[in-house]
Chains A and B, each alone.
Chain A
């Protein structure tokens, strides 16, 4: 059952190129509902953890061929 669900998701993702989306969003002025402290924004800027290339860090295992997943 779970296998069937997975294959449906894969097919749907593969077909995304034919689905209309707003990839390039129209610019609009949006105000944040909440106040964010400068210290929190600064932590976001200067202490953000480096983003791994793979969501689960698979480059540690597979990276000898290419860390960023090029085939």
Chain B
């Protein structure tokens, strides 16, 4: 005797704000059904109403399909708190009318929250390159005016990618602050070297003189012998499976500081954007560390400024779309679990709750600037650090630079 036709159990999402039926799609698991409707699994307790009758019983069944739940007439997905997480859903976002529909380079979700009426409205705005550039120029101007004295000399770290282009563009648009710009690019790994011709082209466009620091000079920043293996080989040998970005950011900082000293200024800046500063702050707070000061960070007698700290990568990329694509094609994968985790958390927040990352950035910036973290010179390493470097790690680092 063949079994009768299978009937999928009904699924009801039950919240204190109302109840809604959801439907299965093929052989998907309950977790897939929830993801498809953007229902957070961690906020639910699942009860099964038996086909045979009787009281609903609790059932952990996120991994089960409708076929696995043939004894169930209905699944009751109870929200375990009385909030309405769908208030902020982007599915009902309105696309904002565009002034230049033929010149769209990117798009971004904006959200208006009204506390008085407890409502959220979402908007999807398509942005042209001109609009992106005006946004970035405005944000950069605000930060520079607040954190850099007028008539400063500013050493700017560039990579030749979309971020540098947008940063240089925005800095050169600021005419009433008397800034003098000194762009610097460093060489030493293929990704960096590939950016040099683009950076040179950019600086020509903006009438700026680019300083190119060769790999040998970059090695010297850490006291690495000039005739030794390449930077990347030394790093990979000692820190296998880790990401060169960590050493890379240190080298960029040291190179910018050296150039600043040479120019007699104490101000340097890099293209750290909104996602970068929040990821760093989230990592720090979640590991018990205060957020490091941003968007201006005093390290020794230098100040590192982050003019793009309120600029999302998506809008930065819209400024010069061609450069961004070339930059992405030169990307090397990131393997560090932690770096993957902190960035992924931030992208999830940013994608689900537009504007919240900015609120976090402003709040954490305020915290970071009160009684700020300080850095002290580590004589052995030759640069500033915040906290104690454990001996085994110090020894490996010293070995990498050829001093171990």
Contact = CB atoms under 8 A, between A and B. Distances in A.
B20 A31 contact: no
A28 B123 CA distance: 13
Contacts of B287: none
Contacts of B384: none
Contacts of B22: 24
A20 B21 CA distance: 8
Interface-centre pick from B111, B125, B139 (highest chain A CB count, 10 A): B125
B325 interface: no
Interface stretch (B86-94, B202-210, B248-256, B261-269): B86-94
Contacts of A27: 91
Nearest to B90: A27
A63 interface: no
A43 to B, nearest CB: 10
B18 A19 contact: yes
Contacts of A19: 18-19
B113 A48 contact: yes
Interface residues of A, number: 35
A22 interface: yes
A11 to B, nearest CB: 13
Question: Contact size class for B?
Answer: 35 or more
Contact of B358 (A13, A29, A32, A45): A45
Interface SS majority for chain A = loop
B230 interface: no
Contact of B17 (A23, A45, A55): A23
A24 B310 CA distance: 31
A67 B86 CA distance: 22
Contact of B110 (A30, A45, A51): A45
Interface in B60-104: 84, 86, 89, 91-97, 99
Interface string B125-162: 10100010011001100000000000000000000000
Nearest to A38: B131
Nearest to B21: A20
A42 interface: yes
A16 to B, nearest CB: 5
A18 B224 CA distance: 70
Nearest to B97: A35
A28 B124 CA distance: 13
Interface of B: 13-22, 37-39, 84, 86, 89, 91-97, 99, 110-113, 115-116, 118, 123, 125, 127, 131, 134-135, 138-139, 310, 354-355, 358-359, 362-363
The 8 closest A-B pairs by CB, nearest first: A21-B18, A32-B94, A27-B91, A24-B37, A35-B97, A41-B110, A23-B86, A30-B94
Given A17-B18, A20-B21, 19 more contacts: A13-B16, A17-B15, A18-B19, A23-B13, A24-B20, A24-B89, A26-B91, A30-B92, A30-B94, A32-B95, A35-B97, A38-B135, A41-B110, A41-B125, A42-B138, A44-B112, A48-B359, A52-B115, A55-B116
